Chains A and B, each alone.
Chain A
C-alpha cells in the first residue's frame, strides 16, 4: 500500500504533461475541474472521516468479524451484498463506511461484494437518474441482468484470495 501515493502522483504528472502539450492547452481546464471537485468534496470528506473515526470505535468488532469477517464465507458475502444494496448516498458515504468495516474486521471478499452491490443498486442514482431518464423497463432489465453479480464478485475474490494471497 505504501507505493500507492507516489504511483498516483507519477500518473498524475504524466497525464498533466499530456494535457499541457495538447494543442488546446487542456491542463488549465483540468486543473479547474480538479480544484472545483476538491472544494466540493474535501469539506464533506473531512466530516465523513470524523464520523468514520467515531463509528469505528463504537461498532463492536466481534460483530463485524463474526458476520463479515475473513471466515464468514458465503454467509458473509451475502450479508455484505444486502448491506451494500441498502447503503444510501454516493461514494462519500459508501467508501468511508467500507473503510470502517475493514478496520473493524471485515474480510476483503465481503467488502468487494459490498462495494459491487452498492455500485449496482445505488438507490439514489436509480430514482434520481435512471428511472426518469431511461424508464422503468430499462431499469428492470438492468437489475435482472446484474443482481447476481455482487455475490459472484465476492465468491471469485475469496477463491483468488485463498489460492494466491496478494497481501491486502
Chain B
C-alpha cells in the first residue's frame, strides 16, 4: 500500500463492481439508478471531509509512536501485567498488518508468552486507534465508536487470559517457537 499503487487491482475490481451494480440499478429503472447515485454522493460528501483529518491524524500518530516503544513495553513481560500492557500496546500500534505482524513475530522470538501476544493481536484488531480514526469514526460516527469501544475494551484481556489457560491443553512445549 505505497503511494505508487493508487490504481491497483482492488481499484479496478471496485470499478467493475460499481459498473455492474450501476447497470443492475439502471435495469430496474432510471429512478433506482439515480437514487443509488444520490446515496453514493451523499456518503462521499459526508465522509471525505472527515477522512482528510483522519489521514493526517494517522500519519502523525505513526511518527509520534515509535515501534521500538511497543517492543520495549511488552518485551518479556508475562502474566496479567503482560496481558494488560499488551492490550494497551495493541491499541496504540499504528499501521496495517505489515506493521503489526512483524512486530509480533519479533516479540514472539524475544520470549513473549501466548497470553500477551493474543491480547496484543486482539486489541490491535478490535481497538486499533488507526482503524478507528481512518475508518470507523468517519463512516459510523463518534457515538457508535464510543459504544463499540466501551463494550470491546475488556475483550483483549479476556482473550489473553483465556489463551494462557488454554495453552496447557495444546500439545507441544509451552515455550515460544524459535526459528
List residues of A whose CB falls within 8 A of some B CB. Answer: 1, 3-5, 7-9, 11-12, 15-16, 18-19, 22, 26-27, 29-58, 89-92, 95-96, 98-99, 102-103, 108, 111-112, 115-116, 119-120, 122, 125, 128-130, 133-135, 137-138, 140-142, 144-146, 149, 152-153, 156-157, 160-161, 166-168
Contact = CB atoms under 8 A, between A and B. Distances in A.
Given A53-B38, A168-B147, A138 B140 contact: no
Interface string B31-56: 01101111111011001011111111
A95 B43 CA distance: 12
A45 B56 CA distance: 16
B146 to A, nearest CB: 7
Contacts of A38: 51-52, 55
Q: What's the dominant secondary structure at chain A's contact region?
A: helix
Contacts of B39: 52-54, 56-57, 103
Q: What's the dominant secondary structure at chain B's contact region?
A: helix
Contacts, number: 272
A10 B63 CA distance: 18
Contact of B140 (A40, A99, A161): A99
14 contacts: A37-B1, A49-B44, A50-B37, A50-B40, A52-B43, A55-B36, A57-B32, A92-B14, A112-B151, A130-B101, A133-B104, A145-B118, A145-B160, A146-B118
Interface in B149-175: 150-152, 155, 158-160, 162-163, 166-167, 170, 172
A54 B36 contact: yes
Contacts of B137: 4, 8
